[in-house]
């Protein structure tokens, strides 16, 4: 029986995703708690301290600035200046606080017009913020044009890096070879014609991928390679430019090596490096 290559690759992708989830769930002991985890629970914290902590998370662990800028349109995401005020009008029946919290935990529930559904759930890997961090971050967002009134209890108990996974899952190794994947990126895949990735490439045709593993899930990156249009078009870039044919042209081995390479891209270059 002849099976189309795209189907084979997709089945392979599902198998990899399956084993990825399996590993993530079955070996919780390898999870490493991020060192700079913030805990404010039980402590007395003033709104000012909370906002300050939230700003640090925004700029640091949250990696929000790779996509969002304040007072400036980012390449991948809306400007968040004044979001504490505009949030009140985004969704009828939802106040500013509830909208902001929903934006962080379930970004796809309401999309800002003109933007694709590419924001990851920030309490899941790779960003993986905990409840205290979500609390502080919400306070910081509210402080830009709104009223800081968020309480820890407003953040759902189910939110935050779960005991079984946390930031550890994103660091799991796939069965691919990143070195071979880099060769696919620069060679057969031809990705380098449009993308920069860390030390290699310089083309501005597509987004700089140097920090992609810090802000995106393996599922998104896998989908983007197989079916770029289905994953939404990164804002600021033309649609239908990234070839939709990699599912046919790459072998399953090349695909998984390529993915393994992309998951190593956690460059520290700062937000300006991710254009």
Chain residues in the site for ligand HEC (CB under 6 A): 58, 62-64, 66-68, 76-78, 83, 86, 90, 100, 103-104, 107, 111-112, 115, 117-119, 122, 127, 137, 141, 189-191, 193-195, 205-207, 209, 212, 215-216, 221, 224-225, 228, 233-234, 237-239, 241-243, 246, 258
Task: Name which of 82 and 175 has its Cβ closer to ligand HEC.
Answer: 82
- Helix axis angle, 47-59 to 131-143, nearest 10°: 100
CB of 80 to ligand HEC, least distance (A): 6
How far is 136 from 47, CA to CA, in rounded Å? 9
CB of 29 to ligand HEC, least distance (A): 27
Task: Name which of 135 and 246 has its Cβ closer to ligand HEC.
Answer: 246
Neighbours of 120 (CB within 10 A): 19
Residues in the chain: 275
- Helix axis angle, 96-105 to 83-90, nearest 10°: 90
Task: Name which of 28 and 252 has its Cβ closer to ligand HEC.
Answer: 252
Neighbours of 249 (CB within 10 A): 15
CB of 191 to ligand HEC, least distance (A): 3
CB of 26 to ligand HEC, least distance (A): 28
Tokens for 249? Answer: 């042209």
Contact 273, 210 (CB under 8 A): yes
Task: Name which of 28 and 220 has its Cβ closer to ligand HEC.
Answer: 220
Using DSSP, state whether 197 is helix, strand or coil.
Answer: strand
CB of 263 to ligand HEC, least distance (A): 11
């Amino acid at each position: 029986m002849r099976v189309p290559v795209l189907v084979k690759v997709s089945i392979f992708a599902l198998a990899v995703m399956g084993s990825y989830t399996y590993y993530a769930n079955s070996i919780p002991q390898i999870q490493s708690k991020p060192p700079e985890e913030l805990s404010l629970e039980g402590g007395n914290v003033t709104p000012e301290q909370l906002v300050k902590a939230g700003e640090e998370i925004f700029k640091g662990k949250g990696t929000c600035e790779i996509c969002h800028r304040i007072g400036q349109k980012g390449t991948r995401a809306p400007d968040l200046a004044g979001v504490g005020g505009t949030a009140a009008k985004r969704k009828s029946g939802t106040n500013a606080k509830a909208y902001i919290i929903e934006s962080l935990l379930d970004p796809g529930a309401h999309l800002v017009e003109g933007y694709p559904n590419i924001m990851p759930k920030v309490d899941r890997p790779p960003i993986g913020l905990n409840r205290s961090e979500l609390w502080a971050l919400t306070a910081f967002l509210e402080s830009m044009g709104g009223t800081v009134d968020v309480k820890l209890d407003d953040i759902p108990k189910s939110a935050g890096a779960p005991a079984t996974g946390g930031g550890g899952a994103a660091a799991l190794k796939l069965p691919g070879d990143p070195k071979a994947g880099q060769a696919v990126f620069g060679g057969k895949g031809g990705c380098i014609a449009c993308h920069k990735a860390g030390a290699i490439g310089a083309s501005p045709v597509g987004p700089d991928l140097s920090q992609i593993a810090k802000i995106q899930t393996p599922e998104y990156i896998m989908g983007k390679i197989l079916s770029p249009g289905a994953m939404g078009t990164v804002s600021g870039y033309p649609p239908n430019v990234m070839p939709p044919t990699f599912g046919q042209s790459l072998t399953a081995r090349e695909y998984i090596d390529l993915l393994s390479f992309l998951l190593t891209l956690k460059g520290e270059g700062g937000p300006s490096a991710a254009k």
